[in-house]
Structure 1
Amino acid sequence: MNILVIEDDARIADFLGRGLRAEGHRVEQAATGPEGLAMARQAARAAATDGQPTVLVLDLMLPGMGGLEICQTLRAEGVALPILMLSALGAVEDRVAGLRLGADDYLAKPFDFEELLARLESLARRGRELARQAPNRLEVADLVFDRERMQASRGGRPLPLTAKELALLELMMSAPGRLFSRERILANVWGASEDPLTNVVDVYIRRLRSKIDEDGVPPLIHTVRGLGYRLEALAG
């Protein structure tokens, strides 16, 4: 099982890391909200290609960005990784808030390690079911993205795309018609560490558009001035 532990308490994080690795699981760890969000997005992209989902162990109180905000952001972006939320706040309203924002399970601190492990195993089984349901082939009009081969084509013609261009295209094709802000694209494709003032998104959109929307074919990448970009086939 792949497990991403997002926990800022060094003592708890160390306990979880050692215990889960001793059980034979692959564990990655983050100590801040922004770092954890970036790693969760990367894990979601990996799950889409290798079919091995990551279960998130997410603390509620984190520096930089709280667990509830991380959970809400991931669900709003369509990330379906299983999430087990941890918190010292065990009141009913706290559990309800976490579950309503998209958490799959909730465990109050202090917790029994065996119970934590059983809950993670249950979530992993659910995650594998979701992974099997995820489409390996994305299509918008005559544009096709093969997630297994990490290749794209339009009208049957292979597109010579770089790794970043492929990641950008996969993001936009995963939700045809959805408006993606520059900030969301930057965070999903380049990660939270990238300078938010950079124009790299606009540069890559131009590069992607020159390869996809060339030779007089109907354009699929559309700019919404001041807001961002969307990929869709327009009627007519």
Structure 2
Amino acid sequence: MTVACCPNCGFDITKDDLVERDGFKLHPREGLGSYLGRSIGLTGSELVLLHTIGQAKRTISREALHNRVSDCETFPEIVGTFVCKIRSKLRTAGVPDPIETVRGKGYRWKSVAA
């Protein structure tokens, strides 16, 4: 089986399904997100963003994330707002934040202690 990856972020284009990583299960098509069996209350865009970062093989730019979660009428800076909201929701639920900010480059998944 051939794996098609985005040249910019390493996102596996052929596997836009369930991501299971560090205790997280993220399935944006089904609108489901959980950590160690506990449901995570995320909006559709937040879930897609977290799923995309979780599946990327390396740092993914704000622009690439913007293309995945927004329409053309919004600015790439909206990604920072989504990340802030995700972090706040995870913190409130007692869930570790898996998003690492890479200054000047974008975001990547950081391993969390499960």
- Normalised to the residue count of structure 1, the TM-score between the two structures is 0.39
Q: Give unmatched runs, 5+ long, in structure 1.
A: 1-73, 81-133
Match of 1:151? 32
Identify which of structures 1 and 2 has the higher relative contact order when contacts are C-alpha pairs closer than 8 Å and 6+ apart.
Answer: 2
Secondary structure at the counterpart of residue 144 of structure 1: strand
Secondary structure at the counterpart of residue 202 of structure 1: helix
Match of 2:66? 186
> 1:185 is matched by which residue type in structure 2?
L
Q: Is the 8 A contact 2:53 2:99 kept in 1?
A: no
Number of aligned residue pairs: give it.
106
Q: Summarize the Cα distance change of 1:194–1:159 in structure 2 as closer, same or farther, 3 Å threshold.
A: same
> 1:159 is matched by which residue type in structure 2?
I
Distance 1:188 1:135 in 2: 11
The Cα of 1:181 is off from its aligned counterpart by 1.0
Q: Is the 8 A contact 2:27 2:51 kept in 1?
A: no
Secondary structure at the counterpart of residue 161 of structure 1: coil
Match of 1:228? 106
Distance 2:16 2:69 in 1: 20
Q: Summarize the Cα distance change of 1:154–1:190 in structure 2 as closer, same or farther, 3 Å threshold.
A: same
Q: Summarize the Cα distance change of 1:200–1:144 in structure 2 as closer, same or farther, 3 Å threshold.
A: same
> 1:151 is matched by which residue type in structure 2?
L
Identity of aligned pairs, percent? 31
Q: Give unmatched runs, 5+ long, in structure 2.
A: none
Higher helix share: 1
Instruction: Find the partner of 1:169 among 44, 50, 55.
Output: 50
Q: Summarize the Cα distance change of 1:229–1:214 in structure 2 as closer, same or farther, 3 Å threshold.
A: farther
Match of 1:49? none
Deviations along 1:186-226, whole A, 9 cap, x unmatched? 122214x2354x52111000001112344655431111112
Q: Is the 8 A contact 1:144 1:153 kept in 2?
A: yes
RMSD: 2.6
Q: Is the 8 A contact 1:168 1:185 kept in 2?
A: yes
Distance 1:135 1:182 in 2: 19
The higher radius of gyration belongs to 1
Instruction: Find the partner of 2:13 among 58, 75, 79.
Output: 79
Distance 2:94 2:44 in 1: 25
